[in-house]
Structures are given as C-alpha cells and as structure tokens.
Amino acid sequence: MSAATKSGAAERRRLPREKILKSGIIVYERGTKTMDCMLINFSEEGAKLRPLDALALPQTFELRIGRNAVYFCEFLRRTGCDIGVRFLAKGMDRADD
C-alpha cells in the first residue's frame, strides 16, 4: 500500500521534484519568528521541507533560501517530520550589495 500511495502522490504533481539537500529558513508571524529547515526536494511549484518543529508552523509562511530567494508557501501536508508545501509566489529579499 505504501508504494502505491507514494507513486500516486508523485503522479499528481504537474512538475517533477528534484532531490536536493539545502538549508533554508522559515519565517512566520510577520517576521517575528524563524525556524531552520532542510529542503529535501524542490520544484518550481513546491517543496518537501524538514523543519525543526513541523507542528509549530502556520498555514502560510515565507521560505528563505540563500541570500536572495524568498518563496511564499502554503502548508499542504505533514508526513512524520517532513512537510509538503506549495509555492504561492516568489520574491526577492534584497539586492546584492
């Protein structure tokens, strides 16, 4: 059953996700709270994240990757310690100095 569930979830995605191990920062509550996370996989439409505390996250938040990339995310599902998110929009944090 688990193999069928996993393949079924993958088939619903419009774009395939690439495996990636990269650190990120989740920002929420109007920028007053942050949480480190690890990106497990990534596409133009969403990602799988491993935050420090998946239960503490709100429905929407910012994901910051590197110096400039900011993704506005919507929480979709939690599987163990991992969460699936959909990107609602992409922005830029700041220009390089």
Map out the domains of the chain with their CATH numbers. Answer: 2-92 (2.40.10.220)
- More confident of the two residues 3 and 9: 9
Question: For residue 1, what pLDDT is reported?
Answer: 38
CB distance 62 to 40 below 8 Å: no
Collapsing DSSP to helix, strand or coil, 5 comes out as helix
* φ/ψ of residue 81, rounded to 5: -90, -10
pLDDT in tens, 5-53: 444 454 566 767 778 889 999 999 999 999 999 999 999 899 999 999 9
Q: What is the pLDDT of residue 93?
A: 58
**Cα–Cα distance for residue pair 46/59, rounded to 1 Å:** 14
Q: Which of the four pLDDT bands, split at 50, 70 and 90, describes residue 2?
A: very low
Q: What is the mean pLDDT of residues 73-82?
A: 95
